[in-house]
Structure 1
Amino acid sequence: MALKEYKPGTTFPGVMARTIQESSQAWPSPLRARKGTPNVLFIVLDDTGYGQLGCYGSPINTPNIDRLAQNGLLYTNMHTTALCSPTRSCILTGRNHHSNAMACITEGSTGFPGYNGNIPFQNGFLSEILLQHGYNTYAVGKWHLTPTEQISAAGPYERWPLGRGFERYYGFLGGDTHQYYPDLVYDNHQVEPPKTPEEGYHLTEDLVDKTIAFIADSKQLAPEKPFFTYFCTGAMHAPHHVPKEWADKYKGQFDDGWDAYREKVFARQKELGVVPENAVLSPRDPDVQAWDSLGEDERKLYARMMEVFAGFLEHTDHHIGRLINFLEQIGELDNTLIMLISDNGASSEGGPTGSVNENKFFNNMPDDLQQNLAAIDEIGSPKYFNHYPWGWTFAGNTPFRRWKRETYRGGVSDAFVVHYPKGIKAKGEIRTQYAHAIDMVPTVLDVLGITSPDSVRGLTQSPIEGISLASSFDDSDAENLHKTQYFEMFAHRSIYHDGWRAVCPFPGPSFTEAGAFFGMLDLTEEKLRELDAKHWELYNLADDPTETNNIAESNRGKLIEMIALWYAEAGKYNVLPIDSRGTLRFAEERPQLTENRETYVYYPDTQVIPPNVAVNVLNRPHSITAKVEIPEGGAEGVLLSHGGNTGGYSLFIKNKKLCHVHNYARAAEYFVESTEEVPEGQCELRFEFENTGKPDVKNGKGAPGKAQLYINDKLVGDTEYPATLPLNIAMGEGLTVGRDPGSPVTERYQPPFGFTGKILTVTIDVSGDLIEDKEAELRVVMARQ
């Protein structure tokens, strides 16, 4: 006899008599998707330019992504927000980034509705919607959608992946991470990588392994239950980490430089139909040096940096191929709606010379060509956090102008591939319809026959702002339904409307032309009026898809219409106030889980404390006091570490001496060691830093100061640190007691260099109260006479 089922919340259809013999059962029906409902897979690449995938004309081998395009659809007119967190919020909600309070990355949030970094629960995620329709939901890889103050073990967890409709999660919560020493979270708790770099660990492979495992776990038990998987690599974001053999595949292939790359890729794009026949290649950017003007050493270094990037991309494609092959092996590939997108254009954070430590960018520190040259043989290895120079950035966005963080098409025009053999008849075709990342959610709902819900988890939902692209799947001539789209990123503004595009670049069309670098020009009301009156540009995309012919002067009426439309959209979607600040936004004071305090007590054997919720010691007097028990024969190891090989500090014992090191973004390492050995038994070990000057944040210099070591209140070491990190400790690596996991702060020890004694507590005090050593002060005074 078949089970009788009924919809939960409706009347019980069985019989409830006084005994079981006279009664009949009925069960609340499980939530099941309709039979044959497709799986959904989003693949989000990071910092990948329009001209970097093989199917978009690049010489870099991406056969697995190309396969998706060959058996699906390649869109040439997809757009993003020009930055990662904002775009990702669009991908998952179908709403614009300011509607999602995600005007910037979460680290750059400010106290305004469009900017505070707290995505409203009224803007439901696709994962939350599909849960209501019987889907399994998995998120793997980069998240970067939780306010940075909320990603610690103290929570709250409601904006972590499992709080936004994903049943399982494995990845990293921040914007980037070390590919060999990642900061990993499994569901709602931190985990260590399953292998070391020496054992062959790489994050991309690990993420694909977990994605396959999540899907297999469910499919072996409930084969007909569909999944939604949000798969986000750490690639191609810096650091460009890849085993050497992958980079070596490209030896010599970029020796002719970025100018030649652009010409070759553009010609290939014309052949493929990726760009229109009437398109012209945008001229070399004023910020980008001509390749032929570079010295031999520079060309050698920059070519190698690009070889590493290319190897990293092919390596990423290889592992994406493993996921695609797995879906094919289990018979699910044809019934999986795959959408592959990049979150923004190629990144220029490597600056004009590239970098082997991207943390310099976040500290306003200039890069050093000689330091980079010295690292050439190890670029891509665990030792460095490398990024190529912006000549390759510009080339990577061929045929468009500029790059990530800016709203010219180089920053916002991105790869987009759709693959769904069971639901799309067309194969290997190009689609030119205008699209934006906010269109992905409504497209999925349209394909699945699901109406956007009025409520999610009891909360009334805001309207979805994107438009379905499904009408273009089997009709290359389908109408452009997405008529208007605004853009704003760090005060760089633009708007698309019905084939026209207006752009107001900030601080200017290039840093050279503006006379100011990113984030260094304040946008006052007076300056905004000047920009609106004189500096908007106008392009007719039908005639000029690469934005090379500014026709603002000859079409003043149209330009005024477009500017007015931008302000109308800005008012509608919480875009105001416009904020031009760059890295200085990272120093903005934000609400914390607890009130500001001057004393932080940390304990051993606890999770890594993320950088943005750890104590901030930068540019202020502070002390670190460890209460420990030293066993007979002594102990060694890390007492407290904060950061990694991109920057940070560590207090540790080595060779029975108390030591402190400050890693100044690898530009220098400042070190102090005790003159006496640490005694056995209970003792108090202390480091103090006292400012001796003011920080120069805009020029990448934190406060200098006096560094002192104490054992049981006795001064045992002192020196001067001429500079410290001004803004950012490290690239994603946090604070830990008793060990230095991940990449080490210093090469003076091998990680994790766990402490072999017993740590009771480690207390960091930022009140400014320091031990007074009158005798030592007198010695200093006497020495200066």
Structure 2
Amino acid sequence: MANQEFHGRIGRTYDESEPWWPDQARASEDAPNVLLITLDDVGFGHWGCYGGIADTPNIDRLAENGLQYNNFHTTAICSPTRSCLMTGRNHHSNGMASIAEVSTGFPGYNAHIPHENGFLPETLVEEGYSTYALGKWHLTPSETNSAAGPYDQWPLGRGFERYYGFLGGDTDQYTPSLVHDNHQVDPPTTPEEGYHLTEDIAQRAIDFIGDAKQVDPDKPFFTYFCPGACHAPHQVPEEWIEKYEGEFDMGWDEAREQILERQKELGVVPENTELSPQNEDVRAWDSLSDDEQRLYARMMEIFAGFLEHTDHQIGKVLDYLEELGERENTLVMVLSDNGASAEGGPNGSVDENHFFNNVEEDLEENLEAMDDLGGPEYFNHYPWGWTWAGNTPFRRWKRETYRGGASDPFVLSWPEGIEASGEIREQFIHAIDVVPTVLECLDIDAPDEIKGVPQSPIEGTSFAYSFEEPDAPERHTTQYFEMFATRAIYHDGWRAVHPWEFNKPITTEDLSATSLEDSGWELYHVAEDFSEAHDVSDEHPEKLLELIQLWWTEAGKHDVLPLDGRGTQRFAEERPEPGRPRDTYVYYPGGQPIPENAAVKVLNRDHSITADLTTADGEDEGVLIANGSRSGGYSLYVMDGQLRYVHNYVGKEEYEVIADEPLPEGEVSVRMEFETTGDLDLENGEGRPGTVRLYYGDEQVGEGEIPVTIPITTGLTAGLSCGRDATNAVSDVYRDRAPFAFTGDLDRVTVDVSGDAVVHHEAEMDRIMARE
């Protein structure tokens, strides 16, 4: 890059010269701060100010001092929505048709957000703003999340100056997988010491803002604050759960009625709004057994406590802005990235890794765990009846293009910039409209280029016009939706929806006009039928055909094609990997943990693990290599002078093999060999059994049988670590000593996976999709 032109004078000596300093980029004197708060899996009917039956006093006070929008829309899933929020372009225009883990090799689907679609912080940092991101990211291609990079799609590669959070779709609230700027870090404290991720990132947000404000008080900030809440796991300290004891005993059917009644009282839905029809997947509350009702009510109590706890952390950040005198001139927006999530299934789950591995939930076992749900021992999620209630008054839920998946709460507050407060706005807006609205509020033009890269046109429309004009005609009048070939389009008060059975491939025969264009579409006049309660396609066939044709026009504009309703096959799509395929993986102690997608895959195949180490006195102990978490995984470690291997079967059972002889002193190669002895039984959630043999050098020193192994995944929240069990220890045997780092001299660990792997793509797809 050429140096900036010098405007001083350079003579033969200093006395003959005139110094000059380059101008520093500075925002205008009264430029507002921007705080964009993005929650996860929170439905339209969850917040108190939207009629919800959980308390959200801090979001409510923003609504009281700002505006609520009842016609805000997302893409129906997290990463695509977040890409819209950052760029102002549609999700397919961003290459983010879905989450990165199910990317395909087409422009709208490859999960590589082009640099032509600049991120909002890339613009603002050049305008003199401090830029911070905290919490969930999930905008990098999955193959780039490891220390091998590349880093150009990490937060610091897309305009943020500081980052603290997690790159994937979800993480454990008590033992999260954390990244600080461009490197992984351990949580600062433990669950026993009171650690919780949402509290941590709230304090980090305060620290980031304060660090800069104390040095340059006039410099505005853009802070992107994204708790993992309220995505699974639903985890929160017990005191936040206790408040809601008994509050949901009435069940989800009555809850929907109560929420709608409150929504009408608050004016966030029209008075004539009806509840959408019965969800065919949800059992009536009265049909459940007493034990089921007791467990499911408890699961909702935990979710409510989790949501209020998150609201409390938002309140801490808002209070800090008050202390700084910055709150009045901070544009605050709070939203959810999609509708409430049905990923807990019909019965809820105490650990999602059971679901991912096709291990059936056991009601009696879950009842025994009930009092500890929400704590660090479980990765729980409520049943989808509560999902449906959380999306009141709409149909369905996350992943689908009905309003239950794509309509979300949205609150905006800017006391110095907006006179109106405590009012509802009904204009249609979409996630792509946030960027142009922020730029208009800041009086900044969208740049023609960023760092030499010409920029594509922003596709959203500013809704700043609506701030002071509640009855102004909406300006965003057409918007397409697509997710896994489920489709919808909004146009001038009408909404056409084409549902699609997830995991059903679109075949060549399906490409006929009758099946893809004319058949199966539903039509809703949402200007009159807010909740999509009445399909009027038969009454207005001409309007329906108009919208179908419009959808295809929009699809052609925004890289939506080819339509792809595949599930399992889409997961199996060949895509870039971190490094070339190989049979031997070598790991070294002291490095960063390896994310699951980049770690060696050993399940359902013959493999060996060899550790080259040196011990001095026979007292050395600790983990040599571990992969997974309390929810399932394996670990090779030394304890009580002996080599040990443990296989944790989805958190239900631990199978351990222990060497018969003590570990010799000095240099030694220790080895674990796993030989499969049976078949994969995926239907019953059982991976291939096998024989484990332990060796010191060439001498066999132990043998044991592993009757059942993990069939699909070791879990979502930890990954592989060498020389220690980095977080959320695999084994109960040493969990109270985690990370249980090896005290001897560990040179390297080599994993050989030359045995053939068995992969079940359908189950793997279910696992990946729940990370949205």
Question: What interval of TM-score do these two structures reach, taking the shorter chain for normalisation?
Answer: over 0.9
Q: What SS does the corresponding residue of 1:553 show, helix, strand or coil?
A: coil
1:453 positional shift: 0.7
8 Å CA contact 2:485–2:565 kept in 1: the answer is yes
Q: Give distance in 1, aligned partners of 2:466 and 2:264.
A: 22
> For 1:531-559, what per-residue CA distance to the aligned partner results, in whole angstroms no more than 9, with x for missing partners?
54421111111221211211122222222
Greater Cα offset, 148-157 or 165-174: 148-157
CA–CA separation in structure 2 for the residues paired with 1:475 and 1:31: 34
Structure 1 CA distance for aligned equivalents of residues 568 and 28 of structure 2 = 48
**Residue by residue, what CA displacement relative to the aligned partner does 1:705-756 show, whole Å, maximum 9, x if unpaired?**
3433333233344444444334332122110011112211121222212222
Q: Does 1:538 align with 2:552?
A: no
Counterpart contact for 1:259–1:284, Cα < 8 Å: no
Letter paired with 2:533? T
Kindly tell me: are residues 198 and 676 of structure 1, through their superposed partners in 2, closer, same or farther at Cα, counting changes over 3 Å? same
1:669 equivalenced with 2:663 (yes/no): no
Alignment of structure 1 residues 87-98 onto 2, 5 Å: 87-98=81-92
Alpha-carbon separation, structure 2, partners of 1:289 and 1:87: 30
- TM-score normalised by L of structure 1: 0.92
Give the structure 1 partner of residue 580 of structure 2: 595
Other structure's SS at 2:60 match:
helix
| 8 A contact 2:51–2:263 mirrored in 1 | yes
Q: Report deviation, 1:381.
A: 0.6
For residue 308 of structure 2, give the secondary structure of its aligned residue in structure 1: helix
- Offset from partner CA, 1:661-683 (integer Å, 9 cap, x none): 22232244343333333333322
Deviation at residue 149 of structure 1 after TM alignment: 1.3
- Aligned counterparts, 1:341-420, within 5 A: 341-420=335-414
What is aligned with 2:323? Answer: 329
Answer whether contact 1:634 1:678 (CA < 8 A) is retained.
Answer: no
Which of 233, 252, 255 aligns to 1:261? It is: 255
2:551, 2:474 → 1: CA distance? 20
- Whether 2:162 is the aligned partner of 1:175: answer no
Q: Residues 531 and 24 from structure 1, CA distance in 2 versus in 1: closer, same or farther, beyond 3 angstroms?
A: closer
**Within 1, Cα distance between the matches of 2:680 and 2:21?**
68
In the TM superposition, residue 238 of structure 1 has moved relative to its aligned partner by 0.7
In the other structure, the counterpart of 2:766 is: none
In the TM superposition, residue 359 of structure 1 has moved relative to its aligned partner by 2.4
2:85 counterpart letter in structure 1: I
TM-score, normalised relative to structure 2: 0.94
CA contact (8 A) 2:518 2:548 kept: no
Letter in 2 for 1:526: E
**Which residue in 2 is equivalent to 1:296?**
290
Aligned partner of 1:766 in structure 2 is 753
Alignment of 1:696-711 (within 5 A): 700-711=685-696
Q: Distance in 2 between matches of 1:686 and 1:350?
A: 39
Looking at structure 1, the residues matched to 85 and 701 of structure 2 have their Cα atoms a distance apart, in angstroms, of 56
State the distance in 2 between where 1:179 and 1:571 align: 41
Look up the match of 1:463: 457
Tell me if structure 1 keeps the 8 A contact 2:240–2:309. Answer: yes
Please list, as runs of the form range in 1=range in 2, the aligned pairs for 1:296-695 lying within 5 A after superposition: 296-507=290-501, 518-519=502-503, 521-529=504-512, 530-582=515-567, 585-695=570-680
1:188 matched to 2:173? The reply is: no
What pairs up with 1:19-34 in 2 under 5 angstroms? 19-34=13-28
**8 Å contact from structure 1 (residues 634, 679) kept in 2:** no
Q: How many angstroms does 1:16 deviate by? A: 4.2
How far residue 628 of structure 1 moved from its aligned partner, in angstroms, is 1.7
Counterparts in 2 of 1:308 and 1:569: CA distance versus 1, 3 Å: same
User: Partners of 2:655 and 2:553 in 1: how far apart?
Assistant: 53
Amino acid at match of 1:163: G
> Does 2:714 align with 1:729?
yes
TM-aligned CA deviation for residue 445 of structure 1: 0.7
CA shift, 1:367, in A, is 2.8
Contact 2:605-2:756 within 8 A present in 1 as well: no
Q: CA offset at residue 22 of structure 1?
A: 4.7
The equivalent of 2:770 in structure 1 is none
Aligned match of 1:3: none
Aligned to 1:84: 78
Q: Percent identity?
A: 60
The secondary structure found in structure 2 opposite 1:641 is strand
Contact 2:680 2:688 in 1 (8 A): yes
Task: Confirm or deny: 8 A CA contact 1:362 1:583 kept in the other structure.
Answer: no
Distance 2:96 2:196 in 1: 30
**Which segment drifts farther, 47-56 or 578-587?**
578-587
1:5 paired residue number: none
Which structure 2 residue ranges, 5 or more long, are not aligned? 758-772
Q: Which residue of 2 aligns with 1:774?
A: none
Q: Secondary structure at the match of 2:306?
A: helix
Greater shift after overlay, 637-646 or 673-682?
A: 673-682
CA deviations over 1:541-582 (Å, ceiling 9, x no partner) = 122121121112222222222222222222211112222234
Task: Name which of structure 1's ranges 649-658 and 277-286 shifts more when overlaid on structure 2.
Answer: 649-658
Shift of 1:267: 0.3
Amino acid at match of 1:495: I
One-letter amino acid of the structure 2 residue matched with residue 652 of structure 1:
Y
- In structure 2, relative to structure 1, the CA distance for the partners of 1:711 and 1:383 (3 Å cut) is same
C-alpha distance in 2, partners of 1:43/1:361?
30
Q: State the partner residue of 1:133.
A: 127
Deviations 1:357-412 (A, max 9, x none): 12233344443323322210110111111111111111111111111111111111
Per-residue deviation, 1:498: 1.3
Amino acid at match of 1:666: G
Q: How many residue pairs were aligned?
A: 751
- Residues of 2 paired with 1:483 and 1:723: CA distance? 56
| Greater Cα shift, 491-500 or 71-80 | 491-500
Q: How big is the shift at 1:616?
A: 1.6
Q: 1:475, 1:668 → 2: CA distance?
A: 61
Output the CA distance in 1 between the equivalents of 2:103 and 2:679.
26
Residue 362 to residue 94, structure 1, CA distance change in 2 (3 Å): farther
Q: Partner letter of residue 723 of structure 2?
A: G
Task: Give me the whole-angstrom Cα distance separating, in 1, the residues matched to 2:174 and 2:618.
Answer: 35
CA contact (8 A) 1:687 1:709 kept: yes
The ranges of structure 1 where at least 4 consecutive aligned residues each deviate by more than 6 angstroms after the TM superposition are none
Corresponding position: 1:99 with 2:84: no
- Corresponding residue SS for 1:258: helix
Equivalent residue for 2:144, pick from 146, 150, 161: 150
* Unaligned stretches of 5+ residues in structure 1: 1-7, 508-517, 771-785
Report 1:54-73 matches (<5 A): 54-73=48-67
CA distance, structure 2, for counterparts of residue 717 and residue 406 of structure 1: 52
Whole-angstrom distance in 2 between the partners of 1:532 and 1:667: 48
Distance in 2 separating the partners of 1:525 and 1:355: 38
Alpha-carbon distance between aligned partners in 2 of 1:588 and 1:728, rounded to the nearest angstrom = 18
Letter in 2 for 1:768: G
Q: Which moved more, 1:89-98 or 1:632-641?
A: 632-641
Aligned match of 1:741: 726
In the alignment, structure 1 residue 251 sits paired with structure 2 residue 245: yes
Offset of residue 489 of structure 1 = 1.3
Matched, 1:116 2:110: yes
Question: What is the CA–CA distance in structure 1 between the aligned matches of 2:467 and 2:479, rounded to whole Å?
Answer: 21
| 8 A contact 1:643–1:730 mirrored in 2 | yes
Deviation at 1:504, TM superposition (A): 1.0
Aligned AA (1:523) = I
Q: Report how far residue 703 of structure 1 moved.
A: 3.6
Equivalent residue letter for 1:612: N
Instruction: Let me know the Cα RMSD of the aligned residues.
Output: 1.9
**Separation (CA, whole Å) in 1 of partners of 2:226 and 2:557:** 30
Distance 1:540 1:696, change over 3 A: farther
- Distance, in Å, in 2 between the alignment partners of 1:145 and 1:431 is 30
1:33/1:73 Cα in 2 relative to 1: closer, same or farther (>3 Å)? same
- Matched with 2:271 is 277
